[in-house]
Amino acid sequence: MPTPIHISRHLGIAGYRELEPEWRRLAGESATHFLHHPAWYGAKLLACEDDPESVIFLSFHYEGNLIAVVPLKQGFKTLMRFGLALNYSFWEIYYPNEMGLCDITLDNRFAGASLLIDALTGKLNCYRRWDLLEVPHLPQGSAFLALMARSRCFFTKPSHVSKYLAIEGDYDGFMARYPRKFHKNLRRKLNNLHGMGTVRFEYVTAREELERAFTNFLRVEDAGWKGRDGTSILRQPRVLDYYRRLMAGFDAKPGATGGSGEVVIHLLWLDGHCIGGQFALHLGTTLSLLKIGYDERYSAESPGFLLVDQLIREACERKGIERISFVTGTQWMDVWKPWEEPVFNAYHFNRTFKGLLLSLTMRLYERLKPYLPSRSQPES
């Protein structure tokens, strides 16, 4: 008889703080993405969550070892399909929607992953009646997507794409994929800046330098349209708190490997004035760009374009980065001809009447959608 999986429930902020040290150790051993790190969830819970006590963290132990953490929040929705309204109760993976990606932390050495989905749904049935487990924005290859694929009550549909650059070889070898006109344009913009003054790039990871670098990044991100629209980090106190907590949570020590993670702030300077910056997380072999900003007075020289070019140089030279992820699928990075990773919305239907009805309705709608008038295709 297989050894049972033991599941514990951790509620709200107190529960997160109780679980966080053990979760951090698991991330240090198994995490391959910032989505697997407790700091990603703790920052949102502590800085931005209106109702922290509505969030639970389920920890899964096998033979005394933590093998998975699933953050969850329950809610109620109405699905409008075929002129009918269906009210239902759902559990949703709790995640910061800052980047539009979601996953769980799972020990990749655990061979009994097929047991986890049954253990999870069984545990949820002990709480409150529910019809649907909804997991939005799972990147291809995510831990939870692989887990849910083992369930018969599982359904996915495409959401969007996440774009990235696959870093191989040296800088010259990587850049050979771009045409001569691309290189000429890149040199022209950089030469224009050199004609204005002294140009310097700064790649900051040291803890004692990050606060200074973060302050400069905040100023340059606020200097353009984001500041005018009130959407820059500086103009949103809770978002500012969120990013400060991220910086505190991703605290890789010198020589750390695996999933400990580190914050990277990459700046472009002109005569001592910061004119562009990137805020990134480096975990495992992936460097993920979360935020960018630049001084619009230098828009003709494309500071963001030059920063990505320099970041590719850094990645090729440091040898520990195999992917630069743009995380989202927005179009500004298409000039780099990025690779694309599909992202899915995933659903697990409970064996309730409404759960079965949801399964039938959603599957049927996806089949019929190409033939339906656009006005009858509401968002779920």
Calculated CA dihedral for residues 292, 298, 301, 303, nearest 10 degrees: -20
- Pick the range with the lowest mean pLDDT from 93-97, 161-165, 351-355, 369-373: 369-373
Question: Is 224 a residue whose pLDDT tops 90?
Answer: no
**172 and 309 both lie in a single domain:** yes
Q: Are residues 214 and 298 in the same domain?
A: yes
Q: Is the same domain home to 155 and 202?
A: no
Does 261 map to a domain?
yes
The token pair that represents 125 in the structure block: 């049935």
**Is 337 contained in some domain?**
no
Question: How confident is the model over 116-134, as a mean pLDDT?
Answer: 89
The domain spanning residue 136 has which CATH number? 3.40.630.30
Domain boundary among 276, 291, 321: 321
Nearest one of 342, 330, 348, 338 to 137, comparing CA atoms: 342
Residues 108 and 189 in one domain: no
Q: Are residues 214 and 147 in the same domain?
A: no
> Is 1 a domain residue?
no
Examine residue 336 and state whether it is found in any structural domain, yes or no.
no
Which region among 45-54, 147-156, 216-225, 280-289 has the lowest average model confidence (pLDDT)?
Answer: 147-156
Model confidence at 240: pLDDT above 50? yes
Rounded Cα gap, residues 273 and 277, in angstroms: 11
Higher pLDDT, 212 or 379: 212
Q: Do 108 and 209 reside in the same domain of the chain?
A: no
**32 plus 146 within the same structural domain:** yes
Both 213 and 241 in a single domain? Answer: yes
Residue 334 included in any domain = no
Enter the pTM of the model: 0.90
Say if residue 349 is in the same domain as residue 305.
Answer: no
- What is the band of 113 on the pLDDT scale with cuts at 50, 70, 90? low
Residue 326 lies in a domain: no
Tell me, what's the pLDDT at 37?
94
pLDDT per residue as tens digits for the range 310-341: 999 999 998 889 999 999 998 989 999 999 99
CA distance 169 to 167: 7
- 327 part of a folded domain: no
pLDDT band at 258 (very low <50, low <70, confident <90, very high): very low
Are 157 and 21 within one domain?
yes
Q: Are strands 105-106 and 65-81 parallel, antiparallel or unpaired?
A: antiparallel
The β-bridge relationship of strands 286-294 and 323-325 is parallel
* 296-323: average pLDDT: 95
Give SS3 for 277: strand
Same domain, 177 and 117: no
* Domain range enclosing 172: 168-321
The answer to whether position 335 is within a domain reads: no
How high does pLDDT run on average in the chain? 90
Mean pLDDT of the region 197-207: 96
Number of domains in the chain: 2
Q: Are residues 101 and 132 in the same domain?
A: yes
